[in-house]
Amino acid sequence: MSELTTTNKSTIMNTYLRLPLTLSKGKGSYVWDQNDHMYLDYTSGIATLNLGHVPPEVHAKVTEQLDKLWHCSNLFEIPAQQNLADELTSLSCFSQAFFCNSGAEANEAAIKLAKKYAKDQGNEERVEIVSFTGSFHGRTGTTLAATAQEKIHQGFTPITPGFRYLPFNDFESLEKINNGKTTAVILELVQGEGGVRPANLEWVQELANACQKEDILLIIDEVQTGMGRTGTLFSYEQYGIEPDMMTLAKGLGSGFPVGALLAKDKSALSFQPGTHGSTFGGNPLAMTAAKATLDTIVSHHLVDEVKRYSEKIFTKLHEWKKEFPAIVDVRGKGFLIGVEFDKEVKGIIEGLRKNHVLALVAGPNVLRILPPLNTTEEEIDQFLMILHDILDEQLKEESS
């Protein structure tokens, strides 16, 4: 048996490869480090801070709530929870909501609800859920099993049974959706951790039709794509479908831990008292933050801003694809943008950081760009200028 060694002497478990940077404050699209150096933050907390750092509308509502009530048991009526559920369902095709604390918990709830629905319909044989290669649905015991990436499974076998994986964007795979045991399909419409890969429109529509025909529940995981990130409030709106369930988290609460499962009555009614719950889910503080976040996105018409400014970014990146042969692909939707290179992008990330810009990876070769929805045109121009200078320096230097 090999012995695991680490030089990490921290009392915090060594689960993250942290950047050599400590952030001390943030406002809008910018953060400051411990030395008061300012950075343009195009990570958005991994698509969490859709309104940037400390948005004033959310700050005001949360500050007000802090003086009232932080937490109470779900055994009591929680008006803030009802208000948020009313607005989310009115803006979507769903009729009921369940609130939790994270995207993984929201996906866990959806998986449980799908299984319960099958049992309530008398379909005891329906015990499998289909997901797709390259997906990412969480790191809990069940959601890592739903994640069709072998590297996520390594070290945690045997993984939770009951999941079957099919190729993403593959039309032939649609014939294998129903094997007589399938109760649900879970799908990201843009695979974030899987390399910023959008689902094909016609493929998704055929998938939705196949699910509806076979009474297989379609769960859309919008943990990263939801709350305006891709240019509509929810990404499924761009595909002309109505899923049975949708999961949200990340951008829902402007950084407050909050997740949600939304479902149509067809499946939602399978949850009854005692079938599912959450101690902290739906607490007044998180609900206040989420409601203020949603209200701001809607009232400020930020999805229109995302459509307008993302077109500018994509246009420029496609131009650079011709200029820099090392750029393999440019893809994504709205402000969920991936640039694939024929090399690792670690040097590009470091170059951006040295120039006071923060961005992410989505796999070793993909640069992931996640501006806040309310970023300005001036900030976008600043980002594009700095990124181009770094590409010009690093890629042309390598090719010479």
The domain boundary, picked from 299, 321, 351, lies at 299
130 sits in which H/E element: strand 128-132
> Are 178 and 347 in contact, with CB atoms under 8 Å apart?
no
Whole-number average pLDDT of the chain: 95
Instruction: Give the confidence band of 17 by pLDDT, cuts at 50, 70, 90.
Output: confident
Instruction: Give the confidence band of 400 by pLDDT, cuts at 50, 70, 90.
Output: low
The answer to whether residue 198 is domain-embedded is: yes
123 lies in the same domain as 207: yes
84 lies in the same domain as 184: yes
The answer to whether residue 17 is domain-embedded is: no
Residue 349: its pLDDT value, please?
97
- The owner of tokens 């995207």 is 103
* Residue 268 in tokens: 């939602």
Query: 266 lies in which domain range?
Result: 56-299
Residue 170: its pLDDT value, please?
97
Instruction: Give the confidence band of 20 by pLDDT, cuts at 50, 70, 90.
Output: confident
pLDDT over threshold 90, residue 37: yes
Per DSSP, the residues of 277-323 read: --SSTT-HHHHHHHHHHHHHHHHTTHHHHHHHHHHHHHHHHHHHHHH
Strand partners, 190: 198
State the CATH number of the domain containing residue 28.
3.90.1150.10
Instruction: Give the confidence band of 6 by pLDDT, cuts at 50, 70, 90.
Output: very low
The domain boundary, picked from 276, 299, 322, lies at 299
* Residue 266 in tokens: 């067809």
306 lies in the same domain as 369: yes
- The owner of tokens 């937490």 is 71
pLDDT over threshold 80, residue 245: yes
* Residue 306 in tokens: 């995302």
Residue 139: its pLDDT value, please?
96
The answer to whether residue 72 is domain-embedded is: yes
Instruction: Give the confidence band of 5 by pLDDT, cuts at 50, 70, 90.
Output: very low
What are the tens digits of pLDDT across the range 186-238? Answer: 999 999 999 999 999 999 999 999 999 999 999 999 999 999 999 999 999 99
Gap between the Cα atoms of 128 and 216, Å rounded:
10
| Three-state secondary-structure class, residue 191 | strand
383 lies in the same domain as 319: yes
Instruction: Determine phi and psi for 115, rounding to 5 degrees.
Output: -65, -40
pLDDT over threshold 60, residue 327: yes
Q: Which amino acid is at 272?
A: Q
78 lies in the same domain as 99: yes
363 lies in the same domain as 378: yes
The answer to whether residue 51 is domain-embedded is: no
- How many residues make up the chain in this entry? 400
308 lies in the same domain as 198: no
> Are 339 and 231 in contact, with CB atoms under 8 Å apart?
no
Q: Percent of the chain at pLDDT above 90?
A: 94
Residue 68: its pLDDT value, please?
96
State the CATH number of the domain containing residue 244.
3.40.640.10
- The owner of tokens 């590409």 is 391
Residue 10: its pLDDT value, please?
87
Query: Quick one: average pLDDT of 87-110?
Result: 98
First to last CA, the chain: 47
* Residue 373 in tokens: 């929805």
Instruction: Give the confidence band of 358 by pLDDT, cuts at 50, 70, 90.
Output: very high
115 lies in the same domain as 184: yes
The domain boundary, picked from 299, 326, 348, lies at 299
145 lies in the same domain as 245: yes
Instruction: Name the domain count of the chain.
Output: 2
251 lies in the same domain as 374: no
221 lies in the same domain as 252: yes
